[in-house]
Amino acid sequence: MKKVIMGNHAVSYGVRASDVKVISAYPITPQTQIVELLSEMCAKGELDAKFIAVESEHSALTACVGASAAGVRTFTATSSQGLLLMHEIIHWAVGGRYPIVLVNVNRAVGPPWSIWTDQNDSLSQRDTGWLQIYCESNQETQDTIVQAFKIAETVKLPVMVVLDAFYLSHTFEIVDILEPEQVRPFLPPYKAEVRIDTASPHSLGNLASPGEYFELRYMIQKAMEESRDVVRDVDREFEKRFGRGYGMVKPYRCDDAEYILVTSGTVASTTRAVIDEMREEGIKIGSLKIRVFRPFPFEDVYQVLSKAKKVGVIDRNISFGHHGIFYQEIKSALYGRTAVPMVGYIAGLGGRDVTPKVIRSIADNLLTNKKPEPDINWIGVKI
């Protein structure tokens, strides 16, 4: 059934469709509507889950770890300060191989306080071993939640689904709402390989010496590498069943593009409008949305960008002392394979609006920019 709902509620419907059993969350702007609707669904009996209203985000994720260790499907949502508070356990969820799905609404971190969007919070978790999927629409959000559980439970790694604060979380769009009955054939009940069970008692997480720890880490990387195929397979199967597929990356008019703008999140949608406008003007430009950031889609990125003459990366984040993070990662992905020149742009930190005009100015810059690399271009900053 199609309904006009906000991005946050699309998350809730995705969780409901996935027969999640334990939800543990702490309120933080702009995630609150996710858990409010989920609480209501639990109270009404529409969702058969325990809702633990914990007293901090750190506890939210540890409660999810506990529930996942019991062998049930679990979910939490947070943003910014909350995600950072969870950071210790973000690592923990990976080491324990818990297939938790977490929605992070990208919000700038303080001080100063900011409730508007940028990507530093989620990207600061990039080394932890979580898969990360960046969504740009409400429909994609709901669908990605469902896919995320399937991916997580197959590779046995947790998955972070990321939304832009307000631009996605609070924007209303039409969503074809998935019902649990529709989803069940696609996402059967979770069967944990390892769990807390008095019938088969084990101790999880004991001290591992240098003689064992290394291999356990190797196993995580291996799972990450194998997850690329899983992500693709799950997406393909989802598309077959529900008619909607999203891929690891979404190229737009890149086949003959000389210039390609790399984007993520809602900026990707806005960028396509600019691409169309510039194409009208005869400029051979395209855009590439990075949807799955972890595992990094090396091959997809290479395939698309290696044909271009110049690549511009729009980062709504910054790794201080280095560069925008998507810029770095793409650069390293292409290194040694192609020497296509790249230009990095930092835009929209702290929620500053990235309008079509802003993107147009970036694209125009890309066409003429000859500064030596690595060059950071701060778009719109009042210098």
Partner 1 sequence: MGEKITFKSYKEMPLCAMSIADMTYNLTGSWRNVRPYYDFKISPCRLGCPTAENIQRYIFLVTEGDYEQAWKAIIESNPMPSVTGRVCFHPCMEKCTRKDFDQAINIPAIERAIGDRGLENPSWMKKVPASRKEKIAVIGAGPAGLSAAFYLARRGYPVTIFEADSALGGTLRWGIPEYRLPNNLLDRVIASILESGPITVKAGTSVGRDITLEKLEKEFSAVFIGTGLTKSRSMGVPGEEGRGIEHGLEFLRKVNRGEKVNPGARVVVVGGGNTAMDVARCARRAGSEVTVVYRRTMNEMPAIKDEIEEAEHEGVYFHFLAAPKSIERRGSGPLKVVFQQMKLAQPDESGRRRPVPDGDKTFAMEVDTLFTAIGEEADAAPFGKAIELDGALIRTKNESGETSAKNVFAGGDAVTGAASVVEAIAAGRKAAERIDRMLSGQPEPAVEEPRTISIENINTAYFTKAKRVLAPRITADQALKGYGEIHAGFDDELLHREADRCFSCGVCNFCDNCWVYCPDVAVKRLAAEYEFDYDYCKGCLVCVTECPRSAISTREEGR
Partner 2 sequence: MKAVAKIPTSELMTSGHLACQGCGATQAMRFALKALGPKTALVIPACCWSVIDGPFPHTSLKVPILHTAFEAAASTASGLKAGLEMRGDTETVVLAWAGDGGTFDIGIQALSGAAERNEDVIYCCYDNEAYMNTGIQRSSSTPIGAWTTTTPGDHWKRRPKKKMIDIMAAHSIPYIATASVAFPQDLIEKFRKAREYKGTRFLHVFAPCPTGWKLAPELSVAMARQAVTSKVFPLVEITENGKVWKVWKDFEPTPIKDYIMAQGRFRHLKEDELAWVESETERNWQDLLAREARAGCVPGLRAD
Instruction: Choose among partner 2, partner 1, none what residue 189 binds, the Cβ cut-off being 5 to 8 Å by kind.
Output: none
Among 181, 193, 280, 281, binds partner 1 (CB under 8 A): 193
Closest distance between partner 1 and the C-beta of residue 90, in Å? Answer: 16
Q: Which two tokens stand for residue 99?
A: 């297939």
Q: Give one DSSP letter per residue of 345-370, joined into a string.
A: EE--GGG----HHHHHHHHHHHHH--
All residues at 6 or more sequence positions from 347 whose CB lies less than 8 Å from its CB, including other chains = 267, 314, 315, 316, 354, 358, 362, 379, 380
Closest distance between partner 1 and the C-beta of residue 228, in Å? Answer: 20
Instruction: Choose among partner 1, partner 2, none what residue 218 binds, the Cβ cut-off being 5 to 8 Å by kind.
Output: partner 1
Closest distance between partner 2 and the C-beta of residue 24, in Å? Answer: 6
Find the part of the chain contacting partner 1 (CB under 8 A) among 16-24, 42-50, 202-210, 345-353.
Answer: 202-210
The helix (run of H) or strand (run of E) holding residue 379 is none
Instruction: Considering only CA atoms, give the Rg of the chain.
Output: 21
Which residue number, 194 or 376, has a Cβ lying nearer to partner 1? 194
Which residue number, 200 or 368, has a Cβ lying nearer to partner 1? 200
All residues at 6 or more sequence positions from 381 whose CB lies less than 8 Å from its CB, including other chains = 346
Smallest CA-to-CA distance from 284 within 268, 308, 302, 262 is with: 308
Which residue number, 48 or 197, has a Cβ lying nearer to partner 1? 197
Which residue number, 150 or 156, has a Cβ lying nearer to partner 1? 156
Residue 215 in contact with partner 1, rule: CB under 8 A:
yes
The two beta strands, 50-52 and 22-24, are: parallel
What does the alpha-carbon distance between residue 324 and residue 322 come to, in Å, rounded to a whole number?
7
Which residue number, 44 or 202, has a Cβ lying nearer to partner 1? 202
φ and ψ of 247, to 5 deg: 70, 175
Among 211, 243, 321, 336, binds partner 1 (CB under 8 A): 211
Distance of alpha carbon 104 from its chain centroid, rounded?
Answer: 8
Find the part of the chain contacting partner 1 (CB under 8 A) among 57-65, 206-214, 290-298, 340-348.
Answer: 206-214
Which positions from 11 through 70 interact with partner 2, judged by CB under 8 A? 21-22, 24, 49-50, 52-56, 58-60, 62-70
Tokens 């529930």 belong to 67
Residue 225 in contact with partner 1, rule: CB under 8 A:
no
Among 95, 180, 245, 341, binds partner 1 (CB under 8 A): 95
Residue 187 in contact with partner 2, rule: CB under 8 A:
no
Q: Which two tokens stand for residue 132?
A: 């990360």
